[in-house]
Amino acid sequence: MESSPKIIPLIVGCLVFLCGVYYSVGVFFENFRGRWGRQKEGEKMSRVSQTLWALMFLLLGAGAVLSAFHFTWAWNWLLPFVVVPCFVGLFFMGWYDNRDAVET
């Protein structure tokens, strides 16, 4: 008999996945493109930055949903080989997108 899914990781995974869908819309439409910084005061994200954010949220949401259904094998390959390089890429893209910003 299979055990029932954990409800909290399922809800959180769905919400994180929906954030990834929102960020993936910004890849294709300029009006939905995110901005760096608080309250959208920073520079506009590049398409690569927006893609990395969308990829991170989609994969983390899918991993949380899978772990809610007790499929933990997803975290074994997802975390070291996908999430960590994307996270490092986000730091680099944050610097790259904001390198020409004027400081006041």
The pLDDT tens digits for 10-65 are 899 899 999 999 989 988 988 888 887 777 677 788 888 889 989 989 988 888 88
Q: Which domain holds residue 38?
A: 8-97
Which among 10, 7, 11, 5 has a CA at the least distance from the CA of 69? 5
> How would DSSP label each residue in 37-59?
SGGG-SPBPPHHHHHHHHHHHHH
* Tally of domains within the chain: 1
**pTM, 2 dp:** 0.80
* Residue 103 is assigned to a structural domain of this protein: no
* Residue 1 is assigned to a structural domain of this protein: no
pLDDT in tens, 79-103: 778 888 888 998 898 888 887 766 6
* Residue 2 is assigned to a structural domain of this protein: no
